[in-house]
Amino acid sequence: MLEVDLPRSFVIREQWHRVHNPIDEVKLALLGRVLRLRPGMTMLDLACGTGEMLCTWSREHGISGTGVDISTVFVEQARERAAELGVAESVNFVHGDAAGFVSAEPVDVAACIGATWIGDGLDGTVELLERSLRPGGLLLIGEPFWREDPPDEAAVRGSHAAKKDDFTDLPGLVASFGRLGWDLVEMVLADPDSWDRYTAAQWLTVRTWLDENPEDELAADFRAELDTAPLNYVRYQRRYLGWGVFALKKR
């Protein structure tokens, strides 16, 4: 039995999100189309969240697959979403630590969208995903990058980076894929509007939760977060931090 779980604060903050990253549902659908997914293809989604990508792509493109996430709440919501969309027979969701998870059978698409900490960074996550990928398959990585060079420490911290070197710019990120031996064959990038739908939506969720749970042990931290997060976002993160999903094929 897995004893670890996603921190409760994260689950509260994103409890109304269907997509747990800065590409919205429109861009998620676009990504499924541009990848030319076909019925019968199989997919592994590590750190799948509430399973929106796997569930909607199964419905729209006829794929099957497995999602793995450390959150008990999100895995249960993913199973409910699969039933809602009529794809529960085609997709499976596992409560587990995605770090080190390898599919029992090679898949056509192996993905980690926005959670490369499971492999201690980009290099390790690409190596982990490759272990589940059939020869010639697609590897999907979601990663941040600097849209503009952050001018000072305040811009770095305000963009949710511990240090400037945590991210590179977009050319540097693309070059890193080549360094690892992969061709970049498609990409869908977040824009300011899709960033808003990911980030700004959290403020209403947090404020509503605070109104309903003023005595909770997390209330003080959430109050402090709401005091600073919107201004940091519009001043720094929305301008300086980019994000995208990148489709790779092994050279």
pLDDT tens track for 114-134: 999 999 999 999 999 999 999
Cβ contact 141:116 at 8 Å: yes
Domain ranges of the chain: 8-149+164-190+242-250
Separation between Cα atoms, residue 39 and residue 58, nearest integer Å: 8
Separation between Cα atoms, residue 207 and residue 221, nearest integer Å: 12
% of residues, the chain, pLDDT over 70: 98
Q: Is the pLDDT score of 4 beyond 80?
A: no
Predicted confidence at residue 5, as pLDDT, reads 85
pLDDT tens track for 159-169: 999 999 999 99
Residue 59 Cα distances to 13, 32, 40, 80, 115, angstroms? 27, 11, 12, 14, 24
Strand partners, 139: 110, 248
Predicted confidence at residue 3, as pLDDT, reads 59
Predicted confidence at residue 2, as pLDDT, reads 47
CATH number (3.40.1410.10, 3.40.50.150, 3.40.50.2000, 3.30.1360.170) of 8-149+164-190+242-250 reads 3.40.50.150
Mean pLDDT of 101-115: 97
Q: Is the pLDDT score of 43 beyond 70?
A: yes
User: What are the phi and psi torsion angles at 123 (to 5°)?
Assistant: -60, -50
pTM as predicted: 0.95
